[in-house]
Amino acid sequence: MPRKFFRRYAPSHQQVRNHPRLRMFGALLCDPNLWHLNRRSVSGAFFVGLFWAFIPIPVQMLASVGSAILLRVNLPISLVLVWITNPITIPPIFYINYLVGSWLLQTPPVPDFELTMSWIAQSMAIIWQPLIAGSLVMGLLVGGIGFTSVRLIWRLHLVNYLKRRAERRRMRKRLPDLPPS
């Protein structure tokens, strides 16, 4: 089930290879490990994609693709997960990152925090340390949760599949007249 689910929703390797911003990776995109759908590859892709989604840099997609190539995890999944941060979700995610960073660095949060580009540009000298610290911590935390969740769900699915298969075999031994399924 997990493999079919990811295969249905992940972009094809041709779509990713032909993306104008990703052509710079050239032959590196031909590595078959970047396209495999197995527990190691998918869980690693979840970590990479979710980690970079929480880092406030303008080239999140390129960082995700580079990390996926370096770690040899599923590239399309890591690329798609970066899109969690989009114009709608960026303000609350980065504000939470900022609050976490303020808490970690034990600095009081700015009381008149605004999510406008002009305010952020003017206040970057004050908010950059808590924002980066919180983003790194939240990226590692959410990436780790995604990694662990995929591993756990994949494992539970496999255990259930093996139990069902063993039960079908036991039933066939009891009822030899049934055709094999």
pLDDT tens-digit series, residues 156-170: 999 999 999 999 888
Question: For residue 139, is pLDDT > 80?
Answer: yes
- Give the C-alpha separation, 81 to 97, whole Å: 18
Name the amino acid, one letter, at 64.
Answer: S
- Give the C-alpha separation, 130 to 26, whole Å: 37
pLDDT for 87: 86
The two three-digit tokens of residue 12, written as one number: 């094809």
pLDDT for 121: 77
The two three-digit tokens of residue 177, written as one number: 């007249």
Q: Tell if the pTM clears 0.85, that is, is over it.
A: no
Query: Could you give the angle at which helices 117-174 and 90-105 cross, rounded to 10 degrees?
Result: 100
Mean pLDDT value across residues 123-133: 89
Question: For residue 135, is pLDDT > 60?
Answer: yes
Express each pLDDT in 67-105 by its tens digit: 999 999 999 899 999 999 988 888 889 889 999 999 999
Please, how many CA atoms are within 13 Å of residue 31, restricted to the half-sphere of its CB?
Answer: 18
Question: For residue 1, is pLDDT > 50?
Answer: no
Mean pLDDT value across residues 107-132: 82
Question: For residue 47, is pLDDT > 80?
Answer: yes
Q: What percent of the chain has pLDDT over 70?
A: 83
Question: For residue 114, is pLDDT > 80?
Answer: no
pLDDT for 28: 72
Question: For residue 25, is pLDDT > 80?
Answer: no
**Which of 26-30, 78-82, 85-89, 111-115: highest mean pLDDT?**
78-82
Mean pLDDT value across residues 120-143: 90
pLDDT for 103: 95
